[in-house]
């Protein structure tokens, strides 16, 4: 094989690698077909849901409907994060699935009006979801 053929092969291989890396980047900032970016989801849905939840659980008289609403919304977000080809790796998958399960536990505790159980479930949700995904995927 001559030199220019080798160069041709190397160029094509580099372009393919670049293309694949680009796909992987795109996957975590946005899904493959729908417009919602991960940044918008976090800013408009995940962040506010978590803030509202905290507020509701710390209020003098707990608004259980608000806790149930935000727990159900966070549970749903665990599915949206896994949908439309957005998930890039195992850490993402693990923390998104944890959002489904930990939010479901919180919803159960809220349905039972168990304040201590709800607070523990919320702390567990944060520990297993935001704090697992962000160190790897936020700001990179
Ligand atoms: C599966 C991964 C994942 C999980 C779980 C996750 N996040 Fe995020 N979050 C991200 C990524 C990625 C970004 C950065 C998005 C960007 O800037 O493109 C982000 C950014 C944010 C931001 C900043 C948004 C902005 O205005 O730039 C907030 C607020 C946020 N997340 C809140 C939360 C909270 C609260 C939780 C837990 C209840 C959580 N996130 C769980 C992936 C995740």
Q: Is 30 helix (H, G, I), strand (E, B) or coil?
A: strand
- Per-residue confidence (pLDDT) for residue 28, from 0 to 100: 92
- Per-residue confidence (pLDDT) for residue 12, from 0 to 100: 78
pLDDT at 27 over 70: yes
Nearest CA to ligand 1 atom 1: 92
Distance, CA of 61 to CA of 48 (rounded, Å): 20
pLDDT at 138 over 70: yes
Q: Is 42 in the pocket of ligand 1 (CB under 6 A)?
A: yes
**Measured CA angle at 75 (ends 74, 77), to 5 deg:** 60
Structural domains in the chain (count): 1
Q: Place 11 in a pLDDT band, splitting at 50, 70 and 90.
A: confident
- What domain range is 36 assigned to? 3-137
Q: What is the 49 CA–ligand 1 centroid distance (Å)? A: 12
Tell whether pTM > 0.75. Answer: yes
Instruction: Lowest mean pLDDT of 7-16, 28-37, 69-78, 109-118, name the range.
Output: 7-16
Enumerate residues 6+ apart whose C-beta is below 8 A from 3: none
Distance, CA of 62 to CA of 43 (rounded, Å): 25
Q: CATH number, domain at 79?
A: 1.20.120.10
Q: Is 37 helix (H, G, I), strand (E, B) or coil?
A: strand
CB of 115 within 8 A of CB of 103?
Answer: no
- Per-residue confidence (pLDDT) for residue 131, from 0 to 100: 98
Strand partners, 37: 30
Q: What is the 12 CA–ligand 1 centroid distance (Å)? A: 35
Q: Is 131 in the pocket of ligand 1 (CB under 6 A)?
A: no
- Per-residue confidence (pLDDT) for residue 8, from 0 to 100: 82
| Alpha-carbon distance values, 137 to 20, 26, 41, 95, 125 (Å) | 18, 12, 14, 11, 18
């Amino acid at each position: 094989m001559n030199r220019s053929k080798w160069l041709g092969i190397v160029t094509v291989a580099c372009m393919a690698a670049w293309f694949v890396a680009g796909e992987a980047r795109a996957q975590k900032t946005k899904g493959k077909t729908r417009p919602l970016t991960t940044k918008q989801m976090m800013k408009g849905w995940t962040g506010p849901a978590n803030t509202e939840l905290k507020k509701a659980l710390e209020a003098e008289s707990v608004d259980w409907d608000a806790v149930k609403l935000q727990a159900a919304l966070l549970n749903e977000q665990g599915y949206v994060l896994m949908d439309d080809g957005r998930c890039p790796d195992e850490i993402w998958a693990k923390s998104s699935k944890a959002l489904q399960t930990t939010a479901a536990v919180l919803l159960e505790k809220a349905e039972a009006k168990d304040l201590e159980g709800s607070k523990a479930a919320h702390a567990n949700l944060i520990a297993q979801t935001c704090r697992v995904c962000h160190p790897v995927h936020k700001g990179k």
